[in-house]
Amino acid sequence: MKKIPFSAVSTLKMVSGNEKKYSKVIHDGVLKEWVGIGWIELRTATKVDKLRYPTVSETAKGKK
Protein backbone atom coordinates (compact mmCIF):
# COMPACT_ATOMS: atom_id res chain seq x y z
CA MET A 1 0.00 0.00 0.00
CA LYS A 2 1.06 3.61 -0.18
CA LYS A 3 3.08 5.61 2.28
CA ILE A 4 1.50 8.59 4.03
CA PRO A 5 3.13 11.35 6.06
CA PHE A 6 2.93 11.20 9.85
CA SER A 7 1.18 14.58 9.80
CA ALA A 8 -1.83 13.00 8.03
CA VAL A 9 -2.58 10.87 11.09
CA SER A 10 -1.83 13.33 13.89
CA THR A 11 -4.49 13.60 16.58
CA LEU A 12 -5.69 16.96 15.22
CA LYS A 13 -6.01 15.62 11.66
CA MET A 14 -7.78 12.47 12.83
CA VAL A 15 -10.46 14.26 14.87
CA SER A 16 -10.90 16.68 11.95
CA GLY A 17 -12.06 13.93 9.60
CA ASN A 18 -9.15 11.72 8.63
CA GLU A 19 -10.44 8.89 10.84
CA LYS A 20 -12.71 7.82 7.99
CA LYS A 21 -9.82 7.79 5.53
CA TYR A 22 -7.18 6.22 7.76
CA SER A 23 -8.91 4.07 10.39
CA LYS A 24 -6.01 1.59 10.36
CA VAL A 25 -2.37 2.25 9.49
CA ILE A 26 1.01 0.61 9.87
CA HIS A 27 3.54 2.53 11.94
CA ASP A 28 6.97 1.14 12.83
CA GLY A 29 5.88 -2.32 11.68
CA VAL A 30 2.79 -2.38 13.91
CA LEU A 31 -0.84 -2.32 12.70
CA LYS A 32 -2.67 0.42 14.60
CA GLU A 33 -6.35 1.37 14.73
CA TRP A 34 -7.84 4.77 15.52
CA VAL A 35 -10.39 4.51 18.34
CA GLY A 36 -11.69 8.08 18.57
CA ILE A 37 -9.20 9.43 21.10
CA GLY A 38 -5.95 7.87 19.93
CA TRP A 39 -4.21 4.90 18.37
CA ILE A 40 -4.20 1.37 19.76
CA GLU A 41 -1.76 -1.32 18.68
CA LEU A 42 -3.45 -4.38 17.19
CA ARG A 43 -0.53 -6.60 16.21
CA THR A 44 2.71 -6.80 14.29
CA ALA A 45 1.83 -6.03 10.66
CA THR A 46 1.55 -9.10 8.43
CA LYS A 47 2.31 -9.29 4.71
CA VAL A 48 -1.43 -9.00 4.00
CA ASP A 49 -1.67 -5.93 6.26
CA LYS A 50 1.18 -4.30 4.35
CA LEU A 51 -0.77 -4.71 1.11
CA ARG A 52 -4.06 -3.54 2.61
CA TYR A 53 -3.19 -0.56 4.84
CA PRO A 54 -1.06 2.58 4.34
CA THR A 55 2.30 2.88 6.06
CA VAL A 56 3.07 6.00 8.07
CA SER A 57 6.42 7.46 7.09
CA GLU A 58 8.38 10.37 8.45
CA THR A 59 9.76 11.02 4.97
CA ALA A 60 6.54 10.68 2.89
CA LYS A 61 5.44 13.84 1.14
CA GLY A 62 2.00 15.21 2.00
CA LYS A 63 -0.31 16.93 -0.45
CA LYS A 64 0.36 20.62 -0.82
pLDDT tens by residue, 9-45: 999 999 998 998 999 999 999 999 999 999 999 999 9
Contact 60, 26 (CB under 8 A): no
Residues in Cβ contact with 59 at an 8 Å cutoff, skipping those fewer than 6 apart: none
Distances (CA, A) of 37 to 18, 34, 49, 52, 62: 13, 7, 23, 23, 23
**pTM summary value:** 0.85
Position 64 pLDDT exceeds 50: no
Residue 31 β-bridge partners: 26, 43
Distances (CA, A) of 40 to 32, 34, 62: 5, 7, 23
